């Protein structure tokens, strides 16, 4: 299969944008990711997918915890910073949620403890038991066909 065709096909699936954060030896680390999903409602479990080449892989393995920060439409600069596409001139506003660093102002902050991992292809899937959640009311940052986007409501069709 043509790898570019596969990549373009996967780009047709619009996603939210997250920054995965963790802390190891007092150092906070983060990376932009859109490979995130809920796994179970009872118990509350989520999954993140980390590339084998990512520096974050070993940090999550060693720390045993991570947070998923679902970014708002106003946080594109943070996404680009943690994706290595730009560098912010300001400090990142980290807070703690159940002992895990989270990004202030995110739509949702989901603090997790790693309960399992699974290597598949060139990624590791980390299953996280959700310890705590903090929510904000705002619009999401969206990624589609390689570009950041925002949502707008679909107008309801007039009934005839």
**Prior bond to 43 cis, omega within 30?**
yes
**Domain count along the chain:** 1
- Give the pLDDT confidence score for residue 151 in this predicted structure: 83
DSSP string for 102-131 = EETT-SEEEEEEEEEEEEETTEEEEEEEEE
Model confidence pLDDT, tens digit, residues 112-138:
999 999 999 999 999 999 999 999 999
Model confidence pLDDT, tens digit, residues 131-145:
999 999 999 999 989
Output the pTM of the full model. Answer: 0.90
CATH number of residue 28's parent domain:
2.30.110.10
- The domain in which residue 19 lies consists of 3-159
């Amino acid at each position: 299969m043509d790898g570019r065709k596969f990549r373009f096909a996967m780009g047709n699936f619009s996603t939210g944008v997250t920054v995965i954060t963790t802390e190891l030896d007092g150092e906070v680390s983060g990376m932009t990711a859109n490979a995130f999903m809920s796994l179970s409602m009872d118990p509350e479990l989520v999954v993140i997918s980390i590339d084998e080449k990512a520096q974050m892989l070993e940090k999550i393995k060693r720390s045993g915890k991570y947070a998923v920060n679902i970014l708002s439409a106003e946080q594109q600069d943070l996404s680009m910073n943690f994706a290595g596409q730009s560098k912010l001139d300001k400090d990142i506003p980290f807070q703690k949620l159940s002992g895990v660093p989270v990004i202030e102002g995110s739509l949702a902050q989901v603090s997790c403890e790693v309960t399992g991992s699974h290597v598949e292809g060139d990624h590791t899937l980390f299953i996280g038991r959700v310890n705590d959640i903090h929510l904000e009311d705002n619009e999401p940052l969206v990624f589609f066909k390689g570009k950041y986007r925002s949502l707008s409501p679909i107008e309801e069709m007039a009934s005839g």
